[in-house]
Chain A
Amino acid sequence: MRRVGSPKSRRALAPYCWVMPSVIVIVGVMGYAFAKGFSISLTKWNPFLNPTPVPVGLGNYVKLLSDPLFRHSVYVTVVFAAGSVGAEMLLGMAGALMVQKLRFLKGLVRTSMLIPMMLAPAIAGLIWKLFMDIDFGLLNYFLSLLGLPEIGWIADKTWVLPSVVLVDVWQWTPFVVLILLAGLQSLPPEPYEAAEIDGATRLQAFRYITLPLMKRVIVITLLFRTIFSLRAFDTIFLLARGGGPGQNALTLSMYLYERAYIPFHMGMAATASYIILIITLLITAVILGLTHGAGSTE
């Protein structure tokens, strides 16, 4: 390598040498992909019919947003994300509060919680396919034991979306439990002691001490789960390929794959991915905006 200037300026360059390789890989792969993706989204391009993309400006965006099926998939995505993240946060908080109360085996519980979330989402899809089968699945068997009518699960128009939500909740509630549990355990004991002396009920203590102190952790967990559920692909792909019955589980990423990528409408596929990104950013902004107003702890 060529020596640059005085030892001092060389020392100033050193940090960049340490950071650059990582930056090059991230920018070279993801940065490039997103920049290139935007330029592809402005074209009509079927690489197997016409190798050169035809520029269409924002045409793809207009076309997608006026496609009823695409709008349906935006709706499905939002319902999927709201349903699964909502349930995960509630169950996760309840779970964290319960685990925190345990005297023994906390470690064992924590370890077991790691397993579902570390499982390949594709395998989670397979497991639940096994469970949700109409004839051979355990879920319907349990329902019949309880004397309840059987459900079509992923083979049924009304149940397909709740079914994929259920799988997402199953896989990701443990993540929420673990993060919130870590948050709960780092809370100072003093406010609770003071509250006890003042005769506050436990519900009041939760509402006026735990929630405000945990706010930052809760918001970050909520953001994480929202961002990741908006891009969910593997489980839905395996459980409700093609959008499932009535296309009622056709999330945006499914639309992108089935309606744009597979028929080689690359411009459309790139546009759909940008719309996913925009929706993600919008929802993130909304969550941050809503939670910022409610008295920040920072």
Chain B
Amino acid sequence: MRQKTAAVRLARVLSILERVAYNLAVCVMLLGFLFPILWMILTAFKPGREAFRIPPSLIFRPSLSNFVELFGARFEGGRILPVFLPNSIIVSITATVAVMVLALFASYALARFDFKGKNVLGVFVVASRMLPPIGSIVPLFFMMRNLGILDTKLALVLVYTALNLPLAIWILWGFVQGIPKEIEECATIDGCSRIGALFRIILPLTAPGLVAASIFTFIFSWNDFQMALFLTRANSKTLPLLALSFQTIEEGVVWGPMSAGGTLIMIPMIVFVLIAQKYLVKGLVLGGVKG
């Protein structure tokens, strides 16, 4: 009898230990993923040469001097705040709105209508995500030049829209399919047109999908470095291109302003993730796994 209770107790202790181990392991994993990001944000607020100190200082008087320097004339001729930031905002928002409108109609048609070539279209939407964007830069460069829109925000908007449409259509397609047809049929019987039903019924019901798809589009446009590197020169540069300007001849890499720049680019993204995390996970799973 006593032996048995000892065994039960041992099993219980083991299972608690195991749980502790899992929790610890997850904590270590999270620390590994988040610490580098936190470190850059911390470095951004370190004054002057504090960023270079080894052993690194954890306690210091936070200062905005790195941001002041970042926005000064030294980097990109002081155009970061008045030009790069608005460029990034305008391009990302315009691309996001364009993707949402186009994708809503396309995904609705794919989910609700039966038409010739529908399967081909579906495959086409999926397959176009396989193409490596790097493969398109040379022709895109000359296409934009021939259209006379090289180094304009329009060129970036066009490219980001085309690159993000497939994923958005994919996510929304799943969402529209999940809405029972009967709801719309009722609306049509009650005298609603197809478009009316789309806006009054489908739009609110697919809101989570729309939120997910639009945040993905926004973040990918906001984060894009590669396309902007090829398609912009002076006028339409966006924030991620800042990454190139912190290698200086006199001082090597300037850690302070670099961390400030990185933090500036990260902040909207982190805010979005925190606000819309639920939808993002759902969108990811739909976009990544479904099909």
Contacts and interface: CB of A to CB of B under 8 A. Distances in A.
A136 interface: yes
A2 interface: no
A119 B266 contact: yes
B130 interface: yes
Given A32-B143, A115-B273, A182-B289, A170 B161 contact: no
Contacts of A107: 277
Interface in A90-119: 95, 98-99, 101-103, 107, 109-116, 118-119
Interface stretch (A54-62, A78-86, A242-250, A271-279): A271-279
A282 interface: no
Nearest to B26: A98
A238 B226 CA distance: 11
Nearest to B136: A33
Interface string A125-156: 11111110101101001000000000000000
A21 B110 CA distance: 13
Contacts of A114: 273, 277, 280-281
B165 A269 contact: no
B143 A36 contact: yes
Contacts of B224: 120
Interface string B257-291: 01101100110011011100100110011001101
Interface stretch (B3-11, B48-56, B182-190): B48-56
Given A123-B243, A183-B289, A98 B130 contact: no
A16 B163 CA distance: 21
Contacts of B132: 227, 230-231, 253, 273, 276-277, 280
A70 interface: no
Contacts, number: 256
A210 interface: no
Nearest to A145: B55
A187 to B, nearest CB: 13
Interface in B170-225: 194, 219, 222-225
A173 B225 CA distance: 21
A18 B34 contact: no
Contact of A19 (B33, B121, B281): B121
A14 interface: yes
Interface in B113-151: 113, 115, 118, 121, 124-125, 128, 130-140, 142-143
Which are the 6 A-B pairs with shortest beta-carbon distances? Answer: A273-B135, A120-B223, A29-B162, A33-B136, A18-B109, A231-B132
Given A127-B36, A179-B284, A256-B134, A111 B113 contact: no
Nearest to B36: A127
A237 B224 CA distance: 13
B135 A277 contact: yes
A15 interface: yes
15 contacts: A32-B143, A95-B26, A120-B240, A122-B225, A123-B243, A123-B265, A129-B258, A170-B32, A179-B288, A224-B288, A227-B130, A233-B225, A237-B225, A274-B135, A280-B130
A112 B110 contact: no
Given A120-B265, A120-B266, A141-B56, A131 B39 contact: yes
A179 to B, nearest CB: 5
Contact of A138 (B23, B39, B143): B39
A257 to B, nearest CB: 8
A95 B280 CA distance: 19
Interface of B: 19, 22-23, 25-26, 29-30, 32-34, 36-37, 39-40, 43, 51-52, 54-56, 98, 102-103, 105-106, 108-110, 113, 115, 118, 121, 124-125, 128, 130-140, 142-143, 158-159, 161-163, 165-166, 169, 194, 219, 222-226, 229-230, 240, 243-244, 246, 253, 255, 258-259, 261-262, 265-266, 269-270, 272-274, 277, 280-281, 284-285, 288-289, 291
Given A118-B273, A231-B134, A14 B113 contact: yes
Contacts of A126: 40, 243, 246, 258-259, 261-262
A161 interface: no
B165 A112 contact: no
A137 B230 CA distance: 30
A121 B225 contact: yes
A69 interface: no
Contacts of B133: 231
Contacts of B109: 14-15, 18-19
A158 interface: no
Nearest to B52: A136
A26 B138 contact: no
Contacts of A221: 288-289
Interface in A22-47: 22-23, 25-26, 28-34, 36-37, 40, 47
Contacts of A37: 135-136, 138-139
A178 interface: yes
Given A18-B113, A98-B22, A281-B130, 19 more contacts: A15-B118, A19-B110, A23-B121, A37-B136, A115-B273, A119-B223, A120-B222, A120-B265, A122-B265, A127-B39, A136-B52, A174-B33, A178-B285, A179-B289, A227-B132, A233-B226, A253-B134, A269-B138, A273-B135
Contact of A123 (B118, B125, B266): B266
A128 B106 CA distance: 40
B265 A135 contact: no
